[in-house]
Chains A and B, each alone.
Chain A
Amino acid sequence: MSDRELRVSKIRNGTVVDHIAAGQALNVLAILGIDADSGETVSVGMRVPSDRLGSKDIVKVEGRELSQDEVDVLSLIAPAATINIVREFDVVEKHRVERPSEVEGVLSCPNRHCITTSDEPVASRFDVLDDGIRCQYCDTIVRDDIAEQIDVP
């Protein structure tokens, strides 16, 4: 990528989530729990031209690596995403996300009568179906609106 095309600046240490489906970058930030008050240095590119996807979103977060739970949920809304771990401006690790068989935390169950939405010491857990997710506690199935279930603190 030439300087003329560079739309998102490099980071020194942190994570680049690339090849996010166009329009999903803000949901990726929500998965990472990043908002205006979180303090991280964040660069976001939206609808950046992409050979693989036509157009894509990209998120760069300085000083932050992702937990497995976050990567698992990320795979549901950005199945083509790649995660790049950057140290001293170099990409030291790069891998694609894989669709897990279950996801824990990060999402909340849309059923307000589900025990995971009450004040109990239990994290949400969902089985991943071919076309959605299913709460392991109350069985509620979520198909089209998974990003809406991101648990915003």
Chain B
Amino acid sequence: MSGDSRASRAGLYSMRHDHIISAKQLSRADIEEVLDRAAEVAADPEAAADRHENTLLGLLFFEPSTRTKMSFTAAIKRLGGDVVDMGTVESSSVKKGESLADTVRVVEGYADALVLRHPSEGSAKMATEFVDVPLINGGDGAGQHPTQTLLDLYSIRESAGFDDLTIGIMGDLKYGRTVHSLAHALTNFDARQHFISPESLQLPRSVRYDLHEAGASIREHTELEPVLPELDVLYVTRIQRERFPDDSEYREVAGQYQIDSETLEAARDDLTVLHPLPRVDEIAHDLDDTEYAHYFQQAHNGVPVRMALLDLLLEGER
């Protein structure tokens, strides 16, 4: 993803990337550079306060978002910049039938970098073919969500570390873009990945292919119970109602992948429970105040991690 126009950028690793499209493009060095920068930012936010004064981040969210959109907004504002926001699809020219290609071409003239969320897989990659400013994939359908992965990894590094990591990833593994990105990124580390899901929502062929190619250590399960005592981290995702033909089947399946404090009696005391949020009922509220619960801190980590990523991407633009 390197581009000659940005070849003179400062920085060692992330600066090779014009765009952040997929976790697959991130090496261990890339990831650690972002996480290290995020740790610096989190320790001393004031030091980064005016680093990107007058920088505008274009927000193109074709799907609803709370955390990704708000934390990108907070991140660029805390770096001294601001956002230009397309708003909802209903209030934009998309409603008049404008293509995504045209939309990003227009909006790149208003902003120094873009964040795109779109319901079609591959939308972010396609959009990069029409823009010169850095473009960040904020989630493309059931594809990838690389910046969520960076904050997931930051949270894992804070709570459990990457050495000899055993992680369980549970829920909708087929359509869960945060799962796909995280699984790819973890192949850079010494991690054993256990995937726990109903058979109908197992990892897609393409992700399994990549994990196999990367030589990753993976196991697939339909139940949490046998593997729970081994886990350092349990990453829970939401099983969506619309993936099932009828409501009763959904409730039966989803019910098997919910955790509460009773479920976790078999877990290690230092288990870290993460969730990209929003949750419905896959994590009971009785876990929220326990030592296991790291998911709200995980969501908060979105700001320093996205500040770090923007800082690195925009460094050569100044």
Contacts and interface: CB of A to CB of B under 8 A. Distances in A.
Chains A and B are bound partners? yes
B125 A141 contact: no
Interface residues of A, number: 18
Interface in A112-145: 113-116, 118-122, 134-141
B206 interface: yes
A111 B205 CA distance: 13
Contacts of B280: none
A115 B206 contact: no
Contacts of A121: 99, 101
A120 B101 CA distance: 7
B209 interface: yes
A138 B205 contact: no
B143 A138 contact: yes
A114 B206 contact: no
B120 A115 contact: yes
Interface of A: 111, 113-116, 118-122, 134-141
Given A120-B99, A120-B100, A121-B99, A140 B123 contact: no
B36 to A, nearest CB: 29
A118 B140 CA distance: 14
A116 B125 CA distance: 11
Contact of A114 (B99, B121, B207, B209): B121
A118 B120 contact: yes
B129 A138 contact: no
Given A122-B129, A138-B121, A113 B101 contact: no
A115 B126 contact: yes
B85 to A, nearest CB: 22
B81 interface: no
A116 B126 contact: yes
B80 interface: no
A137 B209 contact: no
A137 B120 CA distance: 10
Contact of A113 (B120, B129, B209): B120
A116 B143 CA distance: 14
Contact of A141 (B101, B126, B209): B209
Nearest to B122: A137
A115 to B, nearest CB: 4
Contacts of B126: 115-116, 120, 122, 137
A5 B49 CA distance: 83
Contact of A135 (B101, B122, B141): B122
A147 to B, nearest CB: 19
Given A120-B126, A137-B126, A139-B206, A115 B99 contact: no
Contacts of B264: none
9 contacts: A113-B121, A114-B122, A115-B100, A115-B122, A116-B126, A119-B99, A138-B143, A139-B143, A140-B206
Nearest to A111: B121
Contacts of A116: 122, 126
A75 B112 CA distance: 43
Contacts of B278: none
Contacts of B120: 113-115, 118, 138
B121 A115 contact: yes
B123 A115 contact: yes
Nearest to A142: B205
Given A120-B101, A120-B126, A122-B129, A141 B121 contact: no
Contacts of A136: 122, 125
A48 to B, nearest CB: 37
B111 interface: no
Nearest to A118: B120
B125 A113 contact: no
B181 to A, nearest CB: 12
A81 B126 CA distance: 33
A115 B120 CA distance: 5
A116 B100 CA distance: 11
